[in-house]
Structure 1
Amino acid sequence: MTSLILKMQVIAALVLASYPVVAEISGEHEYKVACAGRHAESAMGDGPLATLLNISIPSLVDLSQSNDGAFPFEAVLTTIDGRDGVRAHGSAMPIWGERFQNSATSQRGETSDMVARGRILSLVYYLQSIQQ
């Protein structure tokens, strides 16, 4: 799996460096658009849509704390992407890799997968930056 992370980092770096629209989309912006409705802008799990769901929405600010002080980068990345078929957290979590890939556009020839991976990676880096 470490090679998957390295591959995603290389792809994301290439995409973000060469694609202005993707470069402007920060992880924080991705979070606010894709996640804050359920997890809240504070990432504490109490977003406005959380009460409409029949599941508990987790806080995302204590992922490192819950993992012996280390941010679980790979687990967060694969959970957000969701295209690996492993749905350990149930079906309530959207498959963002698929959604990002389906909505991706490119003016410079990047594949939709490259754009999706760049967006996911920026989101993971943002979540890493807000750990308490």
Structure 2
Amino acid sequence: MLMRLAVTLAMAAGPVWAQEAGAGEGRDLFLYFCAECHGKDAASQGPMAEMMALQPPDLTRLAARNNGAFPLEAVAKQIDGRQPVAAHGDMPVFGPSLDEDQYMALALPNGQPIMVPQALGSLITYLQSVQQGGSGSE
């Protein structure tokens, strides 16, 4: 009985630990790939932003601009290049840089899981963690 309880508790804690680890790894990836344009705080004040014709969006407000729900699928598709950024043109496609053999599941707002490369999932988990004015986990 105690063994079953220990296994159940370990399995339940796994996703929380993975999210925390994912957010830390995601922050490192963000600083490497994204901060030049979107700023170290993801609020669009990177050193390259002033040189761009169109200002990069404030990534801390993605959920707020989407009725409080983090647009997970759209963010994944924009980062990996499956969905071009409208009227943007300057955002590089990072999909090939974030592709790897290990995948992780992320839950869409309706609870349906989507599989993404581990690095992309970590980056998205980090972006969810910095949301303001909306829920990054919804």
Q: TM-score, normalised by structure 1?
A: 0.66
- 1:77 alignment partner, SS class: helix
Residue 117 of structure 2 aligns with an amino acid whose one-letter code is: R
Unaligned stretches of 5+ residues in structure 1: 1-16, 18-22, 105-109
Residue 94 of structure 2 aligns with an amino acid whose one-letter code is: W
Q: Over alpha carbons, which structure has the higher Rg?
A: 2
Sequence identity, in percent? 34
Task: Give, in angstroms, the shift of residue 88 of structure 1.
Answer: 3.4
What is aligned with 2:51? Answer: 52
- 1:61 alignment partner, SS class: helix
Q: TM-score, normalised by structure 2?
A: 0.63
Task: Pick the structure with more helix per residue.
Answer: 1
8 A Cα contact 2:39 2:46, kept in partner: yes
What is aligned with 2:85? Answer: 88
1:66 aligns with 2:65: yes
Structure 2 Cα separation of the partners of residues 66 and 36 of structure 1: 21
What is aligned with 1:120? Answer: 120
Unaligned stretches of 5+ residues in structure 2: 1-17, 105-115, 133-138
Task: Give, in angstroms, the shift of residue 28 of structure 1.
Answer: 0.6
> How much is the aligned-residue C-alpha RMSD, in angstroms?
2.7
What is aligned with 2:96? Answer: 98
Structure 1 Cα separation of the partners of residues 121 and 84 of structure 2: 19
Number of equivalenced pairs: 102
Task: Pick the structure with more strand per residue.
Answer: 2
What is aligned with 1:9? Answer: none
